[in-house]
């Protein structure tokens, strides 16, 4: 084989590589970036102050997984939201309303959750003070 044939074969291989990578890139799912990135950046100081308030007031909620439910105990009655975040995508995340009344605890049924790693984000108010707490969880079978 002379150098001309080798050059043409090399160019064809490179072109086929580029074309196959182009097809591969177009078949990949769209980037799952956070559309609220800038708004979250602006609210960072507010969230940081709420997280610091949990430490200052020693108001960390106690989270336990019991049979068929997740139990969350608070220091005082609380109202707010509980967000369960999964690495499987935003469409699988769940948000629950939080209102403990005078009981100081809330429960979340596990039957809506898939087994695996989750993150829990609790944003609540107790006595006109805002709190924010985040923790990783591992949900066992139903």
pLDDT tens-digit map of 87-131: 888 888 899 999 998 888 899 888 878 888 999 999 999 989 999
| HSE, side-chain direction, 13 A CA sphere, residue 111 | 2
pLDDT band at 141 (very low <50, low <70, confident <90, very high): low
In DSSP notation, 21-65 reads HHHHHHHSPPP---TTHHHHHHTHHHHHHHHHHHHHTT-PPEEEE
pLDDT band at 84 (very low <50, low <70, confident <90, very high): very high
pLDDT score, position 33: 72
pLDDT score, position 7: 93
Dihedral sign from CA coordinates of 22, 24, 27, 33: negative
Q: Per-residue pLDDT tens for 18-34? A: 999 999 988 877 766 77
For the chain, how big is the Rg over CA atoms in Å?
A: 25
Helix (H) or strand (E) holding 137: strand 129-139
pLDDT band at 1 (very low <50, low <70, confident <90, very high): low
């Amino acid at each position: 084989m002379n150098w001309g044939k080798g050059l043409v074969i090399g160019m064809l291989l490179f072109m086929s590589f580029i074309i196959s990578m182009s097809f591969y890139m177009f078949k990949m799912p769209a980037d799952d970036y956070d559309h609220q990135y800038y708004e979250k950046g602006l609210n960072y100081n507010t969230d940081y102050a709420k997280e610091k308030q949990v430490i200052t007031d020693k108001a960390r909620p106690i989270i336990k997984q019991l049979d068929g439910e997740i139990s969350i105990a608070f220091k005082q009655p609380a109202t707010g939201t509980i967000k369960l975040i999964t690495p499987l995508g935003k469409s699988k995340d769940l948000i629950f309303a939080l209102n403990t009344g005078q009981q100081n605890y809330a429960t979340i049924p596990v039957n809506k959750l898939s087994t695996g790693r989750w993150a829990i984000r609790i944003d609540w108010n107790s006595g006109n003070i805002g709190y924010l707490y985040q923790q990783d969880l591992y949900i066992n079978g139903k």
